[in-house]
């Protein structure tokens, strides 16, 4: 395999890449809603392709059907954590109630 003897300089590299140019993506107007859309893609605004409605719900349902099987194992591990958080929330609520009662008691003493 050929290996260069020396590195290519920044100038030579830049001159070689001078003709690399980005092209604008081709766009068209949706025949149904008139929104600008990339060619050969479904309109994100109205969900049609070449004037025909696309059934995205069927694809979404198929994807959703595959995902719950994966998430079922994760949910079982996550259920234990929220219970711990619930008890923490209850403890915090109790602490806040006690603080409020203590503040009310000090306010009553200062008023007297």
Q: How far apart, in whole angstroms, are the C-alpha atoms of residue 51 and residue 67?
A: 31
pTM comes to 0.36
**pLDDT of the residue at 10:** 96
**pLDDT of the residue at 28:** 93
How many percent of the chain have pLDDT more than 90? Answer: 31
**pLDDT of the residue at 26:** 94
Is the pLDDT at 73 greater than 80, yes or no?
Answer: no
Give the other-Cβ count within 10 Å of 43's Cβ.
23
**pLDDT of the residue at 75:** 55
Residue whose C-alpha is closest to residue 25's, from 41, 39, 9: 39
For residue 37, count CB atoms less than 10 angstroms from its CB and return exposed for 0-12, middle for 13-18, buried for 19 or more. buried
């Amino acid at each position: 395999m050929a290996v260069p003897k020396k590195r290519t300089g920044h100038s030579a590299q830049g001159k070689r890449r001078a003709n690399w140019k980005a092209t604008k993506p081709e766009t068209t107007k949706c025949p149904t809603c008139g929104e600008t859309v990339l060619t050969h893609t479904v309109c994100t605004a109205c969900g049609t392709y070449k004037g025909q409605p696309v059934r995205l719900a069927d694809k979404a349902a198929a994807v959703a059907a595959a995902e719950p099987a994966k998430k079922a194992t994760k949910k079982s591990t996550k259920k234990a954590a929220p219970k711990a958080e619930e008890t923490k929330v209850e403890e915090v609520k109790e602490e806040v109630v006690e603080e409020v009662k203590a503040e009310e008691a000090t306010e009553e003493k200062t008023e007297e």
